[in-house]
Structure 1
Amino acid sequence: MMTLKLVIFDCDGVLVDSEALANRELQKALAEEGLVMSMEEVVEAFVGRSMKAVVDISGQRLGRALPDDFLDRLQVKTFTKFKSSLKPVAGIAEVLTGLQDMPYQTCVASSGSPDKMDLTLGLTGLKAFFEGRIYHAGQVARGKPYPDLFLYAADQMGVDPAECLVVEDSLPGVQAAVAAGMEVLAYATRGQDRKLATAGGMVIKEMHEVIKYLQEPCV
């Protein structure tokens, strides 16, 4: 088995506690377009996917395309909510600080847009941990659950996929990491333990478990 060299973090729900805030805004915006979904349905359908996928899936369910300015209007409302309420995921700052004293590279590979990550990582004080090492779905042909983004991140970092550990919280993200041939820790906070484990993730409930895993890898 190859030695781990790179830890790849998802952003939403792993670094920043943004998903509940963003999902509520998405739920309201879709309802205004006539697509009424419960929060559970929103999470099931969209969490971990790119906004292009959100638009495509929503259009399929509606039977028509969403307005051209849908994402722009949604972004304004979501960013406003972030500016007033966004916080880092509990314990993540300590994990990132601890990793600086360990022999691992780090980067971000997220379905979120560059503008969104620039805002959320900046607001939470986490951007400095990843300067120049933030990758997004717009840089690859296919977003999660396909492996393209994680493989791209590993290539950019000069690391073999088998030497990567991914920290994810969504089913598409875990599926993408597994498809990329990477180890994956599944941060389960929404009752998805079984789904994430079945997809191939090693479930963790607290962020400090990332450091514990790297100190004593479970193989």
Structure 2
Amino acid sequence: MRYDLVIFDNDGVLVDSEPISNRLLAEYLTELGHPTSYEDSIRDYMGSAMHRVHDLVLERTGKRLPDDFDDVFHARVFAAFERELKPVPGITGVLEKLAADATPYCVASSGSHERIRVGHRTTGLDRWFDDARIFSSQDVGRGKPAPDLFLHAARRMGVEPARCVVVEDSPLGVRAAVAAGMDVLGFTAMTPAERLTGAGQLFSSMEELPDLLI
């Protein structure tokens, strides 16, 4: 099946940001009195919007995070991105092939528009993603695992959900794509394959991806 739209998750799929952001999230939560390991952060928050962090901390501890939590966290993340962030190995070749084949693509991320753009600018991926190709959980009422973001992206790109394929590396993202009625390719570079239940096919290297999009 040749798809009419390829929808990429951002963090961990386009930019290699998950190790950075989850390290900093674990450190900040621990600093605030909510002991969290890097592994805890990957398990509980990878692929989710910031409201999930607030919701889970409140649910587990009965305490709310500070009002400036998001601003402080993002400032730390953006500073680290400037120093450390790289594109996911092989993703540039994938984007070059999609462009050469005139295959429509976009990004649909749980991250904010600012986070997406900072990451793309830092890694040079901004050349592949103009504003019309960028969709954030900020654009919809509910982030992943709700299907709203993927459905919004498909609608804005003018493609039926059944003709879309989503490239995801998080369990929440896979659930969202399945709920949207889209095929899913699960990227296992950071996520154990068994956690991506629901993905139609799994792959561990971006070099494998073009053949899966045919």
Superposition TM-score, scaled by structure 1 size: 0.94
Shift in CA distance, 75/204, structure 1 to aligned 2, threshold 3 Å: same
Identity %, equivalent residues: 46
Structure 2 counterpart of 1:76, which letter? Answer: A
Map Cα deviations across residues 181-214 of structure 1 (whole Å, 9 max, x no partner).
1111110122420121x23341100112221112
Aligned equivalent of 1:12: 11
Residues paired across the two proteins, number: 213
- 2:178–2:184 contact (8 Å) kept in structure 1: yes
Aligned equivalent of 1:138: 138
> Shift of the alpha carbon at 1:3?
4.6
> Shift of the alpha carbon at 1:27?
0.5
Aligned equivalent of 1:127: 126
- 1:83–1:123 contact (8 Å) kept in structure 2: yes
Aligned equivalent of 1:60: 59
Structure 2 counterpart of 1:20, which letter? Answer: P
- Tell whether 2:105 aligns with 1:83: no
> Shift of the alpha carbon at 1:138?
1.1
- 1:174–1:201 contact (8 Å) kept in structure 2: no
- Tell whether 2:163 aligns with 1:163: yes
1:1-219 correspondence runs (5 A)? 3-131=2-130, 132-196=132-196, 198-215=197-214
> Shift of the alpha carbon at 1:60?
2.0
Moved runs in structure 1, 4+ residues, more than 6 A?
none
Shift in CA distance, 212/110, structure 1 to aligned 2, threshold 3 Å: same
Equivalent-residue separation in structure 2 for 1:18 and 1:113 (angstroms): 14
Deviates more, 1:88-97 or 1:122-131: 122-131
Unpaired runs of 5+ residues, structure 1, are none
Equivalent-residue separation in structure 2 for 1:68 and 1:208 (angstroms): 42
Unpaired runs of 5+ residues, structure 2, are none
Equivalent-residue separation in structure 2 for 1:83 and 1:55 (angstroms): 26
- 2:187–2:205 contact (8 Å) kept in structure 1: yes
- 1:16–1:120 contact (8 Å) kept in structure 2: yes
Map Cα deviations across residues 140-165 of structure 1 (whole Å, 9 max, x no partner).
11110111100000000000000001
Structure 2 counterpart of 1:61, which letter? Answer: R
Equivalent-residue separation in structure 1 for 2:180 and 2:103 (angstroms): 19
Shift in CA distance, 18/191, structure 1 to aligned 2, threshold 3 Å: closer
CA RMSD of aligned residues (A): 1.2
Superposition TM-score, scaled by structure 2 size: 0.96
Q: What SS does the aligned partner of 1:209 have?
A: helix
> Shift of the alpha carbon at 1:116?
0.5
- 1:5–1:164 contact (8 Å) kept in structure 2: yes
Structure 2 counterpart of 1:53, which letter? Answer: R
- 2:2–2:213 contact (8 Å) kept in structure 1: no
Equivalent-residue separation in structure 2 for 1:87 and 1:18 (angstroms): 8
Structure 1 counterpart of 2:186, which letter? Answer: A
